[in-house]
């Protein structure tokens, strides 16, 4: 991987994003809007918001980054930009790393806004460190970015990219332990949930919510989320094609 080419790719993607106000609004402000809405849905039961707010602080960024990244990458392919870039001395790993870096910076900004809003405006009550909450939120957003880059290789239109959300995101959302403890699920579903990265993201957020100190379970969960993001990025580089046929 060439560092200069990776940084140049990231800079180009960021310049394009700067001219796409709708995508910026979707990535930066929609998770905040969802948290704000959730807070007042449970206005009469703040304990409920405290119990699920931390988990959703990781889930909302993952979903929005997945959606925006998959569509943006597919647009590069269908417009011919990707084909022209790969005709240059630019490795697939340089391209994927550049996209991951650009969207990763946006993910950091997104997570800072959402975490700050949840903790210091909406009054989300957690036992652990706010900085650990931010770390997990960033990792979740990066995982969404990696998943978006990966699935874009299998879509032939932006509509198909959106259709991947029910297939990739919704099963994880249902099985991650947000709606019911994973241990209480039917054994087959519990086994499936163990293989899904969002389950570990929710578990990490739960550890922060319940424990003041960093636990071994929290470290293991965050390492799994980070490892899944790196693995999916590697798969994205391996499946990257010059054009959509």
**Could you tell me which residues come within 8 angstroms of residue 98 by beta carbon, excluding any fewer than 6 positions away?**
5, 6, 7, 8, 9, 10, 12, 13
CB atoms near residue 7 (< 10 Å): 15
- Over its length of 245 residues, how does the chain's per-residue pLDDT go in tens digits? 678 888 888 898 888 888 888 888 888 888 899 899 988 988 888 888 888 888 888 888 888 889 888 888 887 777 766 666 666 666 777 878 888 888 888 888 888 898 899 888 988 888 888 899 889 988 988 898 889 888 887 887 778 888 888 889 999 999 999 888 898 999 999 999 999 999 999 999 999 988 988 899 999 999 999 999 999 988 877 776 655 44
- Other Cβ atoms within 10 Å of 184 Cβ, number: 9
Q: Which of 126, 9, 129, 130 is nearest to 72 (CA)?
A: 9
Per-residue model confidence (pLDDT) at position 244:
46
Q: What whole-number distance in Å separates Cα of residue 225 and Cα of residue 27?
A: 20
What is the distance between the alpha carbons of residues 66 and 106, in angstroms, rounded to a whole number?
12
Task: Give Cα separations from 174 to 3, 145, 183, 196, 198 (angstroms).
Answer: 39, 20, 14, 11, 10
Cβ atoms within 10 Å of 141's Cβ, excluding its own:
31
Q: Report the distance separating Cα 93 and Cα 80, nearest Å.
A: 19
Tell me the two tokens of residue 179.
Answer: 């709606």
CA atoms within a 13 Å half-sphere pointing along the CA-CB vector of 41? 11
Q: How many whole angstroms from its chain centre is CA 133?
A: 14
Distance CA 116, CA 147 (A): 25
Residues 6+ apart with CB under 8 A from 176: 55, 59, 182, 193, 196, 198, 199, 201, 202
Check residue 241 and give its pLDDT: 62
Contact 119, 35 (CB under 8 A): no
pLDDT score for 155: 80
Q: Quick one: residue 99, left, alpha or beta (phi over 0 = left, psi -120 to 50 = alpha)?
A: alpha
Residue in 138, 84, 92, 87 with CA at minimum distance from that of residue 116: 138
Report which of 146, 151, 198 is spatially closest to residue 175, judged by C-alpha positions: 198
């Amino acid at each position: 991987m060439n560092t200069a080419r990776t940084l140049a790719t990231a800079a180009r993607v960021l310049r394009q994003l700067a001219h796409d106000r709708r995508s910026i609004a979707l990535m930066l402000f929609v998770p905040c809007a969802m948290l704000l809405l959730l807070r007042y849905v449970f206005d009469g039961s703040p304990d409920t918001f405290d119990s699920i707010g931390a988990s959703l602080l990781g889930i909302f960024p993952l979903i929005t980054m997945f959606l925006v990244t998959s569509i943006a990458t597919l647009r590069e392919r269908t417009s011919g930009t990707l084909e022209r870039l790969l005709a240059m001395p630019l490795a697939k790993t340089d391209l994927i790393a550049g996209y991951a870096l650009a969207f990763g910076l946006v993910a950091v900004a997104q997570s800072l806004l959402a975490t700050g809003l949840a903790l210091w405006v909406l009054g989300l009550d957690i036992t652990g460190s706010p900085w650990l909450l931010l770390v997990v939120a960033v990792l979740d957003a990066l995982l969404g970015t990696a998943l978006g880059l990966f699935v874009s290789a299998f879509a032939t239109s932006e509509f198909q990219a959106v259709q991947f959300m029910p297939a990739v995101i919704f099963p994880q959302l249902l099985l991650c332990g947000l709606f019911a403890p994973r241990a209480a699920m039917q054994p087959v579903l519990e086994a499936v949930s163990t293989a899904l990265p969002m389950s570990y993201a929710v578990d990490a957020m739960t550890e922060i919510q319940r424990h003041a100190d960093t636990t071994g379970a929290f470290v293991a969960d965050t390492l799994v989320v980070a490892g899944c993001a790196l693995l999916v990025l590697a798969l994205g580089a391996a499946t990257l094609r010059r054009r959509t046929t």
